[in-house]
Structure 1
Amino acid sequence: MNELSDASKLDLPSATLPATPMRVAYILHRFPCISETFIANEIYWLQEQDVEVSIFSLMSPKDGPVHDVAKKLLPLTHYTPWMSWAILWSQIYFLLRLPIRYLSAFVTVIRQTFREPKLALLAVALFPKNVHLAREMKRLKIDHIHAHFVWLGGISASVVRELVGISFSLHPHAFGLFQRNQKDAKYELELADFICTIATYHRRKIVELCPKVNVENVHIVNLGIDTERMIPRCEARAIGDQPLRILTVGRPIEKKGHEYLIEACSHLVSRGIPFQCEMMVGRGKEAESLQEVVDRFELQDRVKLIDFRDQQEVLKEYHKSDIFALACVMAKDGDRDGMPVVLIEAMACGLPVVTCPVSGIPDLVRDGENGLLVKSRDAVSFADALERLIGDANLREQLGDAARETIVDEFDIRKTTTRLASVFRQYSQPTQQSVPKQTAAEPVRI
């Protein structure tokens, strides 16, 4: 279908930047979130496109490591309690001035969630907070709202638009598209003014799910990374008599397919092929279950499970490795990866990758050109691809160089945020009234 062709590689017409920066609000369910660093990077670099960003976190952050880029964004972040006098006053404000809109916004929340009782309860509990956010965004003269995930952020954005008329867009990910109740997800997507997504696969899924959505309002915007930070190692790794090192990174959950990589490693051992494999999967019960798989195949001396690291340490792991592997599958509950950021990072670091053609991955990895694609849940074929790379240094270099070129050309975050800002401006023009620029050194409590 021509209308679903990948538009992410096309240059948008150069837009004249407005006299005043565009003000965009990101509504996120929780910020910062260690597994959503790609969103923090997007926001950070979007500011370079003459866009002023405010972050509204619906929930307080959890304890744990925070990446440096997220720390830099904390002064832009607004946190709101579940209830306060200010929130209560916002309910009175809209009930007195716009009672029909207030009730309509509440009904819209129910219509997006009633088939999912737990989500419905949470969305209703957040409703007073969302009403308060509408009043706050109006005060800040926000031009547009953007929400990642077809979930709480999108529901909140729909409340704000209903109350104060600010346009909003959604960037769905695998959870919303494939795991939520499809009728609820469809309704939430159809409320958005436009949709951003990462691959032709997702674009096609959205259009099939939502007949009311015009395909021209579904924009492919690649996930971007900083290719000046994620770079290949300066010198070729001195291998000598050491076995090649295979790396994978990902939570210990079904869709990552880690058990198939472990089984592939057992096939490599049976073939007498030397290698070492490090699996950065974190800690916990799921990781312990993976360790049991390693033990069952008696691979303790070949496969090592390690904890998650911060971004700088992850970069060092890429540089210490020779091959990156990610055996993605479609989980039994329908969950699947969209386009794993770790694949993009590994390719930016010049690593040859072996992965599976799940969801949007074929838009990133082109078999035999910048990586190798293997059928999902096929450990023997995965082992064959790894063996091919282990035994052919020229192929590793060729695929690694092509992988790096792909990321620089199509996934550099300066280019992806330029495109994102251009899409924002197609649907919303910045207000001309001046608003004092936030200079706080701490997150904002509203």
Structure 2
Amino acid sequence: MPSQQRPTIAIVVKGYPRLSETFIAQEILALEGRGLPLSIWSLRHPTEKAVHPMHKRIKARASYLPEYLYQEPLRVAAGLAWGLRQPGVRRMLATFWRDLKRDMTPNRGRRLGQAFVLARELPAEIRHLHVHYLHTPASVVRYAAMLRGLTFSFSAHAKDIWTTPDWEIREKIADSAWGVTCTRDGHARLTALAPPSPSGVGRVDLVYHGLDLSRFPAPPQRPARDGSDPADPIRIVTVGRAVAKKGFDDLLTALAALPEGLHWQLVHIGGGELLAELKQQAAREGIGGRVVFLGAKAQPDVIAMMREADLFVLPAKQAKSGDRDGLPNVLMEAASQELAIVASDFAGIPEFLRDGREGVLVPPGRWDLLANAVNMLARDPARRTYLGKAAAARLARDFSMEAGIDHLATLFQAQLGGDGDAVPGSGAAAKLEAERALAAVRAE
């Protein structure tokens, strides 16, 4: 669809804005700062009242697809009527039918309906689609891209890598222009499923989110608490949604096992489906009076709590569903404040924190070793100071945001560098142009 307007990239997300996805907001804001024209399309409306300051600075307009098709039947009907007349509909429906035979769920049908709406309502200046998460959001984008004859790319993060079937990951990568992911183990899984592509199309790159350190205050000076004074207990903080993969149940068990002579308090920040269960567990373990659940908070409130804390703990593990974390941004936020960290030696965490050098790492699920690590660091303020400063130094040296944004900006500019006139239905012209541009980018 030729347009006289400036070519634009549509960023598609599962929900927007979301407090737990600071990495997405940071990325969008930084890409806008590089001059990339973006629009945001969300599969869900926001469920939280609070937003991060970053969300208020983002200029891209957010549009919302029907979360459930029955809620907006006129939009869905208009998308279907329009879509059935498009040259790309045969390819898209054939792909959907192959997917449905292997995943006979209502969710699959909902994604098809959302794809019809998205494809119809995308402005003519949209030249490329980029989706965060490789599971259901990428299904919507893949179908819509086929219908409109556009290229698409993806950012894969955590759950989408480890709970999506191999066949689905393989086929989505093959249809994409390119993809990125944020941890080495996630990258290894995706590249093993990616098809051979000498031109670079369908390739998956490792791109860390990093942190925009300009948004954070200088680290505070901390008192040398050692847990010996009941009037001045060690302050422990943890941040994350109350879901199984965060391991907060192990944290509560570990804290309940700490020696009676060690005085401490824990603050948890985050919403989530298991929040009520965690509160019940804290009461059952006899530590309910020492644990405060603050619920979801905006980033400035999270950083303020980290500045008052002595120790950050995140005992991530693999959930029974197979879901696991990537490299949680909250670890880098804690490091920005020179806060000593205890975390799991799991997923992408050891890519940032090395045991004994920038933090203390324990095997996932081992609450006994977690309790020992917390006990030892709580009593040793000098060790906490050393680890906090080392983590902050590693963050500034190797995990700043700039390198990742440079890489993404180059890839997006390559997508917008062609003539933009994709062939509706097949996407052949757009994909060929992307192949040439991306091969040139990676040859540099």
TM-score (norm 1): 0.82
1:83-232 matched pairs, under 5 angstroms:
95-96=84-85, 98=87, 101-116=88-103, 117-133=105-121, 136-137=122-123, 139-140=124-125, 142-212=126-196, 217-232=203-218
Distance 1:113 1:321 in 2: 49
- Report if aligned partners of 1:112, 1:185 keep a CA contact under 8 Å in 2: no
Q: Structure 2 residue aligned with 1:402, among 384, 390, 393?
A: 390
Q: Which 5+ residue runs of structure 1 have no aligned equivalent?
A: 1-19, 434-446
* Cα pair distance change 1:297/1:128, threshold 3 Å: same
Instruction: Give the partner amino acid of 2:45.
Output: S
Distance 1:199 1:23 in 2: 28
Q: Tell me the secondary structure at the aligned position of residue 282 of structure 1.
A: coil
Seq. identity, %: 26
* Cα pair distance change 1:374/1:43, threshold 3 Å: same
- Report if aligned partners of 1:22, 1:431 keep a CA contact under 8 Å in 2: no
Q: Which 5+ residue runs of structure 2 have no aligned equivalent?
A: 422-444
Distance 1:55 1:163 in 2: 19
* Cα pair distance change 1:334/1:214, threshold 3 Å: farther
- Report if aligned partners of 1:37, 1:70 keep a CA contact under 8 Å in 2: no
Shift of 1:414: 3.5
Matched, 1:37 2:25: no
Instruction: Give the partner amino acid of 2:107.
Output: L
Kindly provide the CA deviation profile for residues 126-163 of structure 1, in whole angstroms up to 9, marking residues without a partner as x.
23213314xx34x11x3322100113332232234323
* Cα pair distance change 1:275/1:58, threshold 3 Å: closer
* Cα pair distance change 1:94/1:328, threshold 3 Å: closer
Instruction: Give the partner amino acid of 1:412.
Output: S
Distance 1:120 1:74 in 2: 32
Judge which range, 77-86 or 187-196, deviates more. 77-86
Shift of 1:84: 7.6
Instruction: Work out the number of aligned pairs and report it.
Output: 406
Judge which range, 415-424 or 40-49, deviates more. 415-424
Kindly provide the CA deviation profile for residues 201-259 of structure 1, in whole angstroms up to 9, marking residues without a partner as x.
11111123345577962111111332122344333347494222111111222111112
1:38-437 matched pairs, under 5 angstroms:
38-62=23-47, 64-73=49-58, 76-80=61-65, 95-96=84-85, 98=87, 101-116=88-103, 117-133=105-121, 136-137=122-123, 139-140=124-125, 142-212=126-196, 217-237=203-223, 239=225, 241=229, 242-270=232-260, 272-282=261-271, 286-429=274-417
TM-score (norm 2): 0.82
Shift of 1:297: 2.2
Shift of 1:379: 1.3
Shift of 1:313: 0.9
Distance 1:158 1:150 in 2: 10
- Report if aligned partners of 1:260, 1:379 keep a CA contact under 8 Å in 2: yes
* Cα pair distance change 1:302/1:86, threshold 3 Å: closer
Instruction: Give the partner amino acid of 1:256.
Output: K
Q: Tell me the secondary structure at the aligned position of residue 417 of structure 1.
A: helix
Q: Indicate the RMSD between aligned Cα atoms, in angstroms.
A: 2.8
* Cα pair distance change 1:97/1:307, threshold 3 Å: closer
- Report if aligned partners of 2:220, 2:337 keep a CA contact under 8 Å in 1: no
Distance 1:266 1:225 in 2: 33
